[in-house]
Structure formats: structure tokens, C-alpha cells
Chains A and B, each alone.
Chain A
């Protein structure tokens, strides 16, 4: 694969350096039947260093998850080698099955078959609370 260019797919740019592999796994790209390249610690004028993921296929991508991981990540959508759309996904209002509640008293610690759900409570700080027990999830991403 020529990692400088893809035919049709996505370039996820401005990923915080060191977070590329985490996002790769969270997006399920390890199971994707297509060519994916992770570029680590690429030089960046704005951030010093960044990770980049290139996906050479038009597969479904969870933008909510990207918005949650970092509002700085830029999604570039490429079709026939042309950039057709570029945007920064916003943090989702409800985050499903990404975080796991750490509160041992939460019902999610015992109940089978329920999704782990968190709701966005502060857009600026991107704080989330468990929808069941209200435990705050604040991570220095």
C-alpha cells in the first residue's frame, strides 16, 4: 500500500501521538477486511507529533467514537483519490459500549445483557456520566 494516497476510504488525521493503536482497536479496524495503515508520531506543525490512520475502503466508521476520543481528530473522506469531505466529529451525547462503568455499586456490574451507556454532561470538558449510576467519567485523553 502506498500510504501517501488511498483510492477510496478515510484518512483520520491529527490523532494525539500514541493514541493511534487505541483508536484502531476501538473502531474495530483490526477486524476490518481492508488495508489499514497506522502512522505513528508523524511530525505536525500544530501538535508537534501526531498519529494518522489510513483506511483504504469505504467501510462504516463510528464518528461518535472518534468525537469522543478527541475533538481534534480530522476525518478526511476520499473518493477516487479526491478529498470529498473533511470534518471534526463532535463528542456524542450518548456513548454506548465504549466506556465501562467503574462503580462497583452500579447495576452494570451485575446485570447481564445491558449496554454500557454514558451521557455527555459537559461539552467543553467532555465529561460523561453513567446513565445508570451517574458516576463521572473524566479522562485525560
Chain B
């Protein structure tokens, strides 16, 4: 509505916008005290129509560290949507009480509907299997901090590349950077969808598909593991067949580069053995931490606070 900025998809942000967010997040990490009161008297509404742990906690922590307050709900049953209220009405109502909204909704495109009438910024905190742009920002921030730049590396994406929205968004984002090579590691049933395949080919990037994680590991600078998500499968049988397709163990990291990083959007189930946590290359909990800082930077950016 008007000039209100929203974040629905990662491509709503230019590379320059993302660089600005990462610079702000770097500054927050270096000088947290400068930002303690940045959002004083501001309120973030977390409207979570489906459960979430990490995303909601990181948004809450981000706003609290900026000196702001948080209100909201964490399941649809606690909201008026259980009584039949439309997303649009819920968003207009929330805009009466909050300065910015982070929303998660099981239906794809719900934040687009919300953004049409909202007078406050909306952050898409995940809409079904569609977009999850703040996870992508978290991933980019982690790569930026650990690798010093975004670009000039080989990234292996492993696990559910068919239904995994984090992977799709990350590919979209990385396609805008120089010299990124992709290795897609997935069983045949969970390979990347054809439209992403087309996009990779149209962009002329170097990419390959393999089924063996062990074979791929030595050439990787970044290994991005994903969970095989039971909730995205059409049947339990299909899930059972594929759920343990890849399990990363510490032994498997032996031939990996010294400075390779292992990422995971979390939660993990079996796909990364807990022994890997002790390896200095494991950075998925660091990644979760970066999620808080980049969300702090995003809240400041969308509220127009310097």
C-alpha cells in the first residue's frame, strides 16, 4: 500500500539492499549497544498461523534486542482466523496495533494478500512450501561472515531439493552473484523441479546433479544440508522410503576442504549426525544466530530507522 516496504520474496531485495542489510548486521554484531534503543516504543506483531520455533523466536529476539516489543499469536486456533476472519482483515487489524508484521501462513501467497491492504511493513516468515526470504537472508549472512564474500565458491545442496523451499530461495538468491557453482545432491525422487533446472540452464551457470554425498564432498566450499520434510510428502510410504537418504557423519568430512562450511536451516532430524557438531566446519547453530542479526537489520530497514 503506497510506499510501505514489504519483504515477500528474496527477489524483492536487490543485491545492494542485501549488502546494506549485511553491513548493518555486521555493525550490530560489532556494536550491539548502539542498537539497544533503536526500536524503543515500536511493536512487532508475529502472526504465526502455523507453528514455528526458530523463526518466531529469532524475530522475537531481534525485536527485543532493538528495544522494541512483540505481540502476536503462534497458531491459527488462537487467532480470529479460527472464526473465519480473512487474512486481509487480520492484517489490517494487526496494523492498528503494531508498527511491523512478521507473518507465517500455511497457504502460499498469503503475505501477498496481506501486503495489498497493510499500512505497515509485512515480512513473509514463510508461506507454506513457497517462500521463506528471511531464511535466505540468514543463509547469505552466514556465507558472508564465514567466507568473506558471496560468490566464487562451489555449493553442494543436499537432501530434499524437490519440496525444500529454503533451497529454492537460496538458488534464486545465489544466481545473482558471480561464479557460484552448484552441485545438487539428491535421490532421483527429490531432484530439483524442472522450472529451477530451466532457470539454471538459462542463466548459464555451472551446475551438476549427483546422488552420492561422499563423492561430492571433496570439491565443496559449502555443504548445505536439508531435512527430508515429512509434511511435504503426499504419502507416509514415500517419506519412509527416502527419509534417511543422506546422513552426514564426521567420518565423511575427512576428505572435505579445511575451510568448507556445513549449513542447515534446522531443525535437523537424522541428516546430520550429532558428532558433526564438534567439527569446526559445522556452522548451523552459528547460522541460527546470524538469523537474529539479519532480522534485526531487516526490521530497521523496513521501518526506515538508521
- Give the interface of A toward B (CB within 8 A): 103, 105-114, 130-134, 136
Contacts and interface: CB of A to CB of B under 8 A. Distances in A.
7 contacts: A105-B107, A105-B128, A107-B87, A111-B88, A111-B110, A133-B108, A133-B128
A134 B88 contact: no
Contacts of B106: 105
A104 to B, nearest CB: 9
B195 A107 contact: no
Interface in B78-103: 86-88
B109 interface: yes
A110 B128 CA distance: 14
Contact of B108 (A107, A112, A113, A114): A107
Given A107-B87, A136-B195, A114 B107 contact: no
Given A107-B110, A132-B110, A133-B109, 17 more contacts: A103-B108, A106-B107, A107-B107, A107-B108, A107-B113, A108-B109, A111-B86, A111-B88, A111-B110, A111-B113, A114-B88, A114-B113, A114-B116, A130-B109, A132-B113, A134-B130, A136-B195
Contacts of B67: none
Counting chain B residues whose Cβ lies within 8 A of the other chain, the interface size class is 10 to 19
B112 A107 contact: yes
Contacts of B110: 107, 111, 132
Contacts of B128: 105, 133
Interface string B201-237: 0000000000000000000000000000000000000
Contact of B112 (A110, A112, A113, A131): A131
Contacts of B105: 107
A65 to B, nearest CB: 23
B64 to A, nearest CB: 30
B294 to A, nearest CB: 24
B68 interface: no
Contacts of B88: 111, 113-114
Contacts of A103: 108
Contacts of B87: 107, 111
A114 B113 CA distance: 8
Nearest to A133: B108
A113 B116 CA distance: 13
Contact of A112 (B86, B109, B129, B130): B86
Contacts of A109: 107
B86 A132 contact: no
Contacts of A136: 195
B277 to A, nearest CB: 34
A136 B195 CA distance: 10
Nearest to B112: A132
A106 B86 contact: no
A77 B87 CA distance: 44
A136 B107 CA distance: 16
Contacts of B195: 136
Contacts of B113: 107, 111, 114, 132
B112 A106 contact: no
A106 B105 CA distance: 11
Contacts of A105: 106-108, 128-129
A111 B108 CA distance: 11
B149 to A, nearest CB: 30
Contacts of A112: 86
Nearest to B8: A132
